[in-house]
Amino acid sequence: MLKRAASLTVALGLALSLLAAGVYAQQGEWSEPTLWQHSTAGVERMMWKDGDTLYFAKDYDIYTSEWDALWNVWLEPVPVPGPINTGANEINPCIVGGGRVMYFARYSPLTDYDFYRSVWDEGQGAWGEPEKIEEISTDDQEWDIWVDEAETVLYLTTKGAFGGTEPLGGRDVWKSTRVGDRWTTPVNLGPPINTEGNEWSIFVDPAGRVYVDGQRDETAGGYDVYVAEDTSSEPRNLGAPINSGDDERCVWVGEGEIWISIPNGEGGAGNYDIWYTTRQ
């Protein structure tokens, strides 16, 4: 925690400028990030919280942990049941449809990461066989995906190109809508959301605010989390205490809570760890 504490001095001036811009006035004050209790020396990242269930990538398989309200603890993580996890890497779960639909990315040596969709099988008590979503997968690396609850709109990040449009940077955010049982050709969001750098992660909160992680102007150090009021607005750095001299990645935002992943952060368990902050 010493590195994070020291880095707050760097980020404080940035936070104050953002406060004047109204970012914190909209979002409130946030607590110093807390290390999630099941973070280990391995990889825990790419979180998605669905009610009292936390989905995340653990050593590149998808796991869940349940919140025990009686004891106020998260239960020991377990792999998701069903044919989601394989010998390949599975990452970035996105849970929608009342907790019954999972979108995620899976690695292939031929096409890198591609997007898949699985439906919960109540009779089997497990996730069903995933289907690759061809219309939003390329031969390059797809990475993160956010889908609305009704499965009508999605945003994704990728190194790939769609419809003859090349990415602005290394990885960009793209948007697709669902028509019938297919997704339309993704459209690049362009600036100011996308930059000549990398936009790795994407999340949209219920108010329509767009969150990305990346290395932009006014960074507190390394990768930071940024928020834009909508897809046409300039993203602003969230500032301290969320951003610091460490790399803040893989953001998930709920009512009064923000979850992030930090690689090799001071006070962490090692490698990628999960941290969370709550509104005070």
pLDDT at 162 over 60: yes
Output the CA–CA distances (angstroms, integers) from residue 228 to 105, 194, 238, 263, in the order listed: 25, 11, 10, 24
Hey, what are 163's tokens? Answer: 């419809």
Per-residue pLDDT averaged across 199-206, rounded?
97
pLDDT at 247 over 80: yes
Proportion of the chain above pLDDT 90, given as a percent? 85
Per-residue pLDDT averaged across 148-169, rounded?
97
pLDDT at 3 over 60: no
Confidence of residue 20 (pLDDT cuts 50, 70, 90): very low
> 0.75 exceeded by the pTM?
yes
Domains of the chain: 2-278 (2.120.10)
Task: Provide the total of helices (H) and of strands (E) in the chain, helices listed first.
Answer: 2, 23
Q: What angle do CA 279, 27, 249 make, to 5 degrees?
A: 80
Rg (CA), the chain: 18
- 201: closest CA among 220, 181, 173? 173
Proportion of the chain above pLDDT 70, given as a percent? 90
Q: Residue 278 — φ and ψ, nearest 5°?
A: -125, 155
Confidence of residue 216 (pLDDT cuts 50, 70, 90): confident
Decide: 172 and 158 in contact? Cβ < 8 Å.
yes
